[in-house]
A and B are shown apart, each in its own frame.
Chain A
Amino acid sequence: MSWSVVARKDFEDALRSRMLWGIIGLFAVLMAVSALVPDLLDVADPVAGYGIAADLAETLVPVTALVAAYLAIAGERESGSIKILLGAPHSRLDVTIGKLVGRAGVVVVGIVAGFLVAGVVTLVVYGELAPSEFVSVTLLTAALGVAFVGIAVGISAATATRSRAMALAIGLFFVFALLWDLVPLGITYLRTGSLPTPGATVPAWQMLIQHLNPSVAFGQLVDAALGGGPPGGAGGPGGGTGGGGGAAALTGQVSGPVPFYLEDWFMFVILGAWTVVPVALGYLRFRDADL
């Protein structure tokens, strides 16, 4: 279990990072604030608070996870500590897996800590917790975090320097957070020669492309868990958390029946793929690299 030694050291090292604690603290504060929003709007519904928290997490978690993990391997190559790490009897595969597990552990701990703070606030303000929704949203957010750690570790394994890893991480963040919303617009335009009209249906495959964004997949899962979109939920055009209750809400949005790859369970497959595939590709580059 060589990777577990790497993961444990990596976890211990990351826990000593002040920057990481700063990010976790900020995350906790923002989660707690979003739990308060329904109360401020005189809506005594903790579940609505979780919806807002999830909406916020959809953007916040990718940033947090990318920052926490983009230097996992590239940073060690730049500093030279990779020679200490690989000088010990760990294969490059052990190192890659260990880094994924270690950084995923850090991000999950941070997310759970943030939600626990939000949970306490919820309990104090609303007098109830809605425990099953609370646990679901916490776990789904953790899964989103792990998916972005996978992306970040993949980037980190594929690059030799801090600056390149950072450029790729920032680039991908913008792709997922901003550009992805333009993809359905572009596809519709190419398909029909005009921009989407409200209420028009789109082919299921176009909807799938939209849902390949881990944040969008996460949004559908949260909607399914909370049984409806949050009030005032600001999803992207036609997608994200703005819909209804998970896959059910897609009926009427896609032309024809909702295929399996838009079902809620398939969103877990998408998140799982983002956790594993970038790491695997990054590993292949790292395996063949001169350090």
Chain B
Amino acid sequence: MGVIETEGLTKRFGDVRAVEELDLTVEAGEVFGFLGPNGAGKSTTIDMLLDFVRPTAGTARVLGYDAQESPTEIHQRVGILPEGYGLYDRLSGRKHVEFMVDSKDASDDPGRILELVGLDGEDAERPVGGYSKGMAQRLVLGMALVGDPDLLILDEPSTGLDPNGAREVREIVRELADDGTTVFFSSHVLGQVEAVCDRVGIMQNGRLIAVDTIDGLRDSTGTGSSIELAVDSVPEGIETLVIEGVSSLTARDGTIRATCLEPEAKLAVIDRVRAEGATVRDIATSESSLEDLFTAYTTERGAESEEEVRA
């Protein structure tokens, strides 16, 4: 049984289709990255999982409970970092954590939680009205950790954090995942997801357009890895060459760039370029980033749906 299971989950706000027919399963113990540009429907989906927003159609189950029928049972066992949250400006960070401890009837030591997310003693006693966005984000992450949740739902957890803070968040997520906590987190910053996620789902225009491991996505989008060769002179007609396992080949200013679907293709590229009479001066290779994958996916799909509209 999945920790999160949605079937035909749909939400419309008037004419706006925020989420359409979402079927998604997140298994116990995995770190699931929920990707998509802003406005793709990620937060609306999370809001439905947490019963902040009611679906127009379909169902959502979290930890075996129906999201709309048993929200308090779900919230008891889930740690939440919501999108667009506010805090109680007059209360201290410690009071916030204490409130969550009391609410969940948990036995956590607020001081230890605050330490874990990097809020020192002095900050913890201050009213949170004076917190920076990053500090607020750390505090809410800490509140999400109260009560040793079975599932963490983090909506854009890196918002407002500097790179160091974002790295710390990733470390916390990784540690929790190692302890068996299921983590579901959304992001439009792809580097965040790539580093920690077992699987990712990509949302666009309210639809889930892909769910796979990051390797799997690389394979299926054909934007595997690339190789760049610095050459003394670019051979005539190099861009028209067909090399097995190479999806594109471009040449510019003495640099030949090939995108390879499989690692062996890189050698084939080098061999062919040399066979064409060029001297290779330097070689650079790179794995495609999730950014490339993401762009490939969303633009490709975007183009497809535009065609659908025209048809």
Contact = CB atoms under 8 A, between A and B. Distances in A.
A binds B: yes
Interface in B9-66: 13, 47, 50-54
Given A13-B91, A81-B88, A290-B53, A87 B82 contact: yes
A182 interface: no
Interface in B67-102: 71-73, 75-76, 80, 82, 84-88, 90-91, 95-96, 99-100, 102
B91 A16 contact: yes
Contacts of B71: 86, 91
A94 B84 CA distance: 22
Contacts of A5: 99, 102-103
Contacts of B143: 84
A86 B67 CA distance: 13
B104 interface: yes
Contact of B104 (A13, A80, A88): A88
A8 B51 CA distance: 24
Contacts of A16: 90-91, 127
Interface residues of A, number: 25
A255 B104 CA distance: 59
A251 interface: no
Given A13-B91, A90-B103, A83 B53 contact: no
A291 B80 CA distance: 16
Contacts of B88: 9, 13, 81, 84
A79 interface: yes
A91 B72 contact: yes
Contact of A84 (B72, B85, B90): B85
B290 interface: no
A193 interface: no
B140 interface: yes
A290 B86 contact: no
B47 to A, nearest CB: 7
A291 B53 contact: yes
A42 interface: no
A290 B72 contact: no
Given A5-B99, A5-B103, A88-B104, A81 B52 contact: no
A89 interface: yes
A197 interface: no
Contact of B85 (A81, A89, A288, A290): A81
A88 B87 CA distance: 13
A74 to B, nearest CB: 13
Given A5-B103, A90-B103, A291 B47 contact: yes
B103 A88 contact: yes
Contacts of B99: 5, 9, 88
A76 interface: yes
A291 B84 CA distance: 11
Interface in A11-38: 12-13, 16-17
A192 B13 CA distance: 52
A83 B52 contact: yes
A12 B50 CA distance: 27
Interface in A70-121: 76, 79-84, 86-91, 94
A76 B52 CA distance: 13
B86 A13 contact: no
A2 interface: yes
B91 A290 contact: no
B232 to A, nearest CB: 60
A256 B118 CA distance: 75
B52 A17 contact: no
Interface of A: 2, 5, 8-9, 12-13, 16-17, 76, 79-84, 86-91, 94, 288, 290-291
5 contacts: A16-B91, A84-B96, A84-B143, A87-B85, A288-B54
The 10 A-B residue pairs whose C-beta atoms are closest, nearest first, are A79-B86, A80-B86, A88-B103, A81-B86, A16-B90, A83-B82, A87-B80, A89-B76, A89-B75, A291-B52
Given A86-B50, A88-B100, A90-B103, 14 more contacts: A9-B88, A9-B91, A13-B90, A13-B91, A16-B91, A16-B127, A81-B85, A84-B88, A86-B52, A87-B82, A88-B103, A89-B72, A290-B13, A291-B47
